[in-house]
């Protein structure tokens, strides 16, 4: 494996950094809103699943009393 000099490494980093495509402000806002919506939906889903499992476990433990 050939070693690269520090100057060559810095030039490669600059070249790669130039290829970065940054999102626009609108894309950032849209993505943020989508993440908030999906997080809310998933939290509601897991709340429902947790409630159902809690009811099942409570019912099963009441049978053992």
Q: Where are the domains of the chain?
A: 26-65
Judge whether residue 1 has pLDDT over 80.
no
Distance CA(42)–CA(1), nearest Å, equals 47
Average pLDDT score over residue span 54-59? 97
Judge whether residue 2 has pLDDT over 80.
no
pLDDT, one tens digit per residue, over 4-53 is 899 999 999 999 999 999 999 999 999 999 999 999 999 999 999 999 99
Distance CA(15)–CA(38), nearest Å, equals 36
The CA distances from residue 21 to 16, 27, 45, in Å, are: 11, 12, 35
The CA distances from residue 17 to 6, 25, 41, 46, 52, in Å, are: 16, 20, 36, 40, 50
CA–centroid distance for 10 within its chain: 31
């Amino acid at each position: 494996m050939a070693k690269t000099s520090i100057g060559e490494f810095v030039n490669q980093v600059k070249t790669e950094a130039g290829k970065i495509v940054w999102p626009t402000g609108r894309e950032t806002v849209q993505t943020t809103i989508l993440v908030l919506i999906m997080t809310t939906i998933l939290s509601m889903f897991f709340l429902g699943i947790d409630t159902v499992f809690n009811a099942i476990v409570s019912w099963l433990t009441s049978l053992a009393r």
